[in-house]
Structure 1
């Protein structure tokens, strides 16, 4: 089963209210409204694309160690996946799929990291629960996500819904901005140029990890 097939199956069960999910129809309608409005806003047009130069960044790993994109690129191509947080089941399923593909990425010479606005404590939880052998770096305030053109602010009605559902992003993320990254995945060559970019304002849609392999292999042939 592909990643998207797994996501679609989860989405169908969630919407059907199958145990353990008991979500009122108005909650689903509100989530759908927010996704539709984000798509219509043109936010996708701000995201970096293949051929753009990726911004340099340095962020903390779950253990507090600073991780520099430039240091990683000195070792080979870099795969970056933007992750909303431990509370998002779609995101966790994506992380698990990336973990399954990790050996193929490494064989192609690439490093893999995820970037999330959540705190390091929650990133440690994500790594543990999803059985990851790659780090989730903490991007407080979605600063790096903004540099990639992915950050967006939640509308007031969605903030109210999240609050009522006890999905308190300020607690998860350690800041009060109520912002998230659009899910995005990038392959960056050692010269800093993005070789692959896939961004979708619909958080239920994710590309297959294997889709990146041609770009990873091509980037590995070009040294900085």
Structure 2
């Protein structure tokens, strides 16, 4: 069982050394702008999860309010930090959740077709089109225009991937929703290279 923090740290170093120097500088400055940021507008424990049904990759719609559930917001399948975290949650969190009768749901603003790149995941992946849910939870931000060329070079057009004119993304966030649809735990990470520890997720679920 790998340590997620260690794996994320190694990925940070790998990204810094494997992308072109000018893009690495943009990414470094971009990340630095998020370090230490507090998502003050984010929903608080005790608030109701918004009553929204989001599309999955198969054309169905799933209500995020139907708990108990762990809901993981990620930036998109193009984000290596997101992929690393989702796979860690699949290995370390999902088996215990299944034993407790709790769902694991991942949400990103990526269009359903794009989310198929996460098809090796064994839990529900939903598309928050136009960031409707993320905005309602107070966990989205607009990317700085000067970073867009670097992201376009690395991953393609984020607006096209997300089917949205707004260049907006959610902060990586984990929520635990109880059987009444109430948020009991929320952990927001403005620094997108850090993530919620699997042990913290399980502790929050067991506290329900």
Q: Which runs of 5+ in 2 are unaligned?
A: none
Residue 3 of structure 1 pairs with residue 18 of structure 2: no
Residue 107 of structure 1 pairs with residue 99 of structure 2: yes
2:28 match: 32
Equivalent residue in structure 2 for 1:22, among 19, 31, 42: 19
Q: Tell me how far apart the structure 2 counterparts of residues 160 and 145 of structure 1 sit (CA, whole Å).
A: 24
TM-score relative to the length of structure 1: 0.85
Q: Tell me how far apart the structure 2 counterparts of residues 163 and 125 of structure 1 sit (CA, whole Å).
A: 18
- 1:77-96, aligned counterparts within 5 Å? 77-96=68-87
1:61 match: 56
Give, in angstroms, the shift of residue 124 of structure 1. 1.3
Aligned residue pairs, count: 206
Residue 165 of structure 2: SS of its match in structure 1? coil
Give, in angstroms, the shift of residue 49 of structure 1. 2.5
Residue 14 of structure 1: SS of its match in structure 2? helix
Give, in angstroms, the shift of residue 166 of structure 1. 4.7
- 1:71-220, aligned counterparts within 5 Å? 72-73=66-67, 77-100=68-91, 101-126=93-118, 128=119, 131-219=120-208
Q: Tell me how far apart the structure 2 counterparts of residues 11 and 37 of structure 1 sit (CA, whole Å).
A: 16
Residue 45 of structure 1: SS of its match in structure 2? coil
2:44 match: 49
Give, in angstroms, the shift of residue 43 of structure 1. 5.7
Contact persistence 1:14–1:23 (CA under 8 A): no
Deviations 1:166-199 (A, max 9, x none): 5310221112211110000000112222221111
Deviations 1:94-136 (A, max 9, x none): 110111121101112211101111011111121x2xx211111
